[in-house]
Amino acid sequence: MGGWSKTGGAWCLLLGVLFYLYWGVRYTRWIDPGVYVVTIALLASGIALKGVSQVTPQES
């Protein structure tokens, strides 16, 4: 159950963490509002997609 939502959510979470770590190591700047915005957007999307994948469809 979940399918593409679960897969997409996992990828968004992974990309959010990897993006933040890459940017910090590459540019040695850990405090940057632009990086926070991108990371938070990816993490929030990942959490939302993982949540959507766990909702069971109601029967009519």
Each residue's pLDDT, cut to its tens digit, for the chain (60 residues) gives 568 889 999 999 999 999 999 999 999 988 999 999 999 999 999 999 999 888 877 766
> Is residue 49 a contact partner of residue 13, using CB atoms and an 8 Å limit?
no
Name the domain count of the chain: 1
User: Cα torsion for 34, 36, 42, 43, to the nearest 10°?
Assistant: -170
pLDDT in tens, 16-29: 999 999 999 999 98
Please tell me the predicted confidence (pLDDT) of residue 59.
67
Could you tell me the residue range of the domain that residue 29 belongs to?
4-53
Amino acid at position 27, single letter: Y
pTM for the model: 0.85
Residue 59 lies in a domain: no
Residue 13 lies in a domain: yes
